[in-house]
Amino acid sequence: MPEAVRSVSSALAPPELPGARRTASADFGAVLKQAVERVEGMRRQADESVMKLLAGENEEVHQTVLAVQKAELAFELFLEVRNKVVQAYQEIMRMPI
């Protein structure tokens, strides 16, 4: 698996939660929060890389393009996961009791 794909898929991987067992809703909230933070971190790295390239600070063009693509892929993957979660929630809400 290419390194770029591995880093994007690890951005949305469930975190290792140390300590005692917590409730499912708390775990889901922690996973969601960490996924958002990872995607946002990739976006920030891409922004920094673009700014360094524009300022002429020893930044290679291919590194900048790679950082931007990784951030874009992570965001698109996050949106698709979110859409699936919303779709599953809506399906559950339509179930008769």
What residue numbers bound the domain in which 60 lies? 3-12+23-94
pTM, two decimal places: 0.66
Identify which of 72, 46, 49 has the alpha carbon closest to the alpha carbon of residue 59.
49
Residue 17 belongs to some domain of the structure: no
Residue 78 · residue 36 · CB < 8 Å: yes
Number of structural domains in the chain: 1
Per-residue pLDDT band at 14 (split at 50, 70, 90): low
Show the DSSP H helices in the chain as ranges: 3-11, 24-55, 61-94
* Residue 27, pLDDT score: 86
In angstroms, rounded to a whole number, what is the distance separating the alpha carbons of residues 58 and 37? 27
Q: Domain for residue 51, yes or no? A: yes
Name the DSSP letter for residue 1.
-
Any domain includes 18: no
- The pLDDT tens digits of the residues spanning 18-56 come to 554 556 666 888 888 999 999 999 999 999 999 999 998
Q: Which residue has the tokens 């919303």?
A: 86
